[in-house]
Amino acid sequence: MLDTSSIYEQGLQRRTANHTPLSPLTFVKRAASIFPDKIAVIDGRRRFTYLELYRRCLRLASALQARGIGSQDTVAVLAPNSSALIEAHYGIGMAGAVLNTINTRLDADTIRFILTHGEAKAVLVDNELCSVAREAISQLESPPFVFDIVDPDADNGERIGEMDYEALLATGDEHFQWQLPDDEWTALALNYTSGTTGDPKGVVYHHRGAHLNAVGNALGFGLTAETIYLWTLPMFHCNGWSQNWAVTLMGGTHVCLRKVEAAAIYRLIEEYKVTHLSGAPIVLNMLAHASERPQKPYPRVIQIATGGAPPPSSVIERMESLGFKVTHLYGLTESYGPASFCLPQPEWSELDNQARCARMARQGVPMPMLADLMVANPDTLTPVAADGKEIGEILLRGNTLMKGYLKNPTATEKAFKDGWFHTGDLAVVHADGYIEIKDRAKDLIISGGENISTVEIEEVLYRHPSVMEAAVVAKPDNKWGETPCAFVTLNPGATPVTDKDIMEWCRAHLAHFKCPRVVVFAPLPKTSTGKVQKFELREQAKHL
């Protein structure tokens, strides 16, 4: 690869002094040396400084190694956002092992599938999840080591492991000499996709990608040493969009949160002067509607990042009216979380609020560390016109894409076909180069030969004053092939509305062929990560 005949290659090879693997594990060591006495983690009544956090990570790493867990062994963690889960993000890697955070809302069968497929050698289980974990683990052929994480502030259930997590740490060595991997391509984390259909897929992260996406988050979301980061985003979700590593990179403070409840969130924002938090649009929606919301906007700027699903612009608008500054991030588990972000252009400040929030609801431009993003025909790789109309698939390329799917070469090859990662998300490119998602490939409605974006209809539904949540799916139709069918949840205390009212609202704001033919008032079924289960709604729509 290198031109070895060049004068620039004579005696100028990589050496220990000038070439070290990129890894987010180094961040906690650096933070401990720069900010030894600064609070790194607030978890209920407990506080850990960066030096304490680092020492707990060293103890965890050495205690795992003492049990024979090391290079490229999988260590799973089933826990809500907590100090132990933060420690797992460093200590497990320092042992040379691979961190597998598991979605805490999964059922025992799925957890068992993940532990089996990922070949977990050890599992850390938060005590509040002991029942589901016991059921999942009891039927494993090769039972892993199990350790109970016991939160002194929480309701504690039965112990299912051989030892409490704190006792495990006590067996460790806080002066443990850990090693970076030789190669930054080494696996660091394993994250299973939520898998709306079929078995979940195990997305493998490497050290290089995690390091770089942490950097990208710090630059893109404006994290600094002054950041007080509230964990409203589950850390099991792409390692908290790589923000766990990013906050530590900058030496900010992590504030843990076990349950996403508006009252607790608003209390912690006040108590700790939170500067940054993140969450899916439904979390923002919940905060915007909560009775505990502030009566007047916060006097200081609180940064909130949202992603995981296209945010309705009305949700952005409502959050802004409370004093939050919204950053819209787009990404997938396969891209370590954020791959693009909606960086505001200076001239947007001249737009009216609604128009500006509509811009901010777009998926935007590549994150600082992503090499390439293209919206194109996935077969020919021809980019779409930048006209805001032609739909193509979002394709990504760069160091912040997964190694691939664990033990699934077919899915890996398919995802990386032709040198690009295929997101399965359909989008347009506006004249300013900003992308906007129109749908997941499988969600797009084709009616009488016309493409209809369910996201566009949902955007209009969310603007109806009585609507709290909305989802649109295709309903089979003999004449048109498919027609849009809307499922709607109303605001608590909303003025009563009929399906006719909703349809009229849509006809006033959308081309008529895009308007829902059927409107159903019902709660929306959600996946364990809070995404609307459109496949279930499609099933329901078939029989309406």
CB 64 to a second copy: min, Å: 17
504 forms part of the interface with a second copy (CB under 8 A): no
Number of residues engaging a second copy in binding (CB under 8 A): 71
**Cα–Cα dist 202/193, whole Å:** 7
Classify residue 168 by burial, with Cβ atoms within 10 Å: 0-12, 13-18, 19+. buried
Q: CA-CA distance, 232 to 166, in Å (whole number)?
A: 24
Q: Is 156 helix (H, G, I), strand (E, B) or coil?
A: coil
Q: How far is the CB of 313 from a second copy (least distance, A)?
A: 21
Q: Is 343 in the site for a second copy (CB under 8 A)?
A: yes
Closest to a second copy by CB, 263 or 371: 371
Q: Is residue 203 within the footprint of a second copy (CB under 8 A)?
A: no
Contacts of 384 (CB under 8 A, 6+ apart): 375, 376, 377, 390, 391, 392, 428, 429
Figure out which of the listed residues 19, 479, 500, 543 binds a second copy, where binding follows CB under 8 A: 19
Span of 146-154, 355-363, 368-376, 494-502 interacting with a second copy by CB under 8 A: 368-376
Q: Does 368 help bind a second copy (rule: CB under 8 A)?
A: yes
Give backbone dihedrals phi and psi of 284, rounded to 5 degrees, phi first: -60, -40
Q: Does 204 bind a second copy (CB under 8 A)?
A: yes
| Interaction of residue 219 with a second copy, rule CB under 8 A | yes
C-beta closer to a second copy: residue 34 or 263: 34
CA dist 337 to 46, 194, 203, 255, 324, Å? 29, 14, 12, 20, 21
Q: How far is the CB of 368 from a second copy (least distance, A)?
A: 7
Q: Which is nearer to a second copy, 274 or 532 (CB)?
A: 274
Q: How far is the CB of 485 from a second copy (least distance, A)?
A: 36
Residue 267 sits in the site that holds a second copy (CB under 8 A): no
Tell me: does residue 377 bind a second copy (CB under 8 A): no
Counting contacts by CB under 8 A, is residue 478 touching a second copy? Answer: no
Contact between 468 and 459 under an 8 Å Cβ cutoff? The reply is no
CA distance 3 to 450: 53
> Which residues between 412 and 441 bind a second copy (CB under 8 A)?
412-413, 416, 419-421, 433
Q: Which of residues 525-544 bind a second copy (CB under 8 A)?
A: none
Under rule CB under 8 A, residue 38 binds a second copy: yes
- Distance of alpha carbon 379 from alpha carbon 485, whole angstroms: 30
Contact pick of 47, 68, 72, 382 for a second copy (by CB under 8 A): 72
Decide if 185 contacts 201 (C-beta within 8 A).
no
Q: Are 73 and 43 in contact (CB under 8 A)?
A: no
What is the rounded distance in angstroms from the CA atom of residue 40 to the CA atom of residue 31?
A: 9
Return d(Cα 424, Cα 498) in angstroms, integer: 35
Enumerate residues 147-166 that contact a second copy by CB under 8 A.
none
Using the rule CB under 8 A, which residue among 113, 178, 185, 298 binds a second copy? 185
Nearer to a second copy, 73 or 128 (CB): 73
Alpha helix (H) residue ranges in 290-406: 313-321, 353-360
Tell me if 93 contacts a second copy by CB under 8 A: no
Residue 401 lies near a second copy (rule: CB under 8 A): yes
Indicate which single residue of 47, 68, 71, 170 sits in contact with a second copy (rule: CB under 8 A). 71
8 Å CB contact between 357 and 313: yes
DSSP-based three-state secondary structure for 529: coil
Print the binding letters for residues 300-319 with a second copy: x by CB under 8 A, - otherwise. --------------------
- To a second copy, the closest distance from the beta carbon of 378 in angstroms equals 13
Please report, to the nearest 10 degrees, the dihedral formed by the alpha carbons of residues 492, 497, 502, 508 taken in order.
-110
| 247 lies in the binding site for a second copy (CB under 8 A) | no
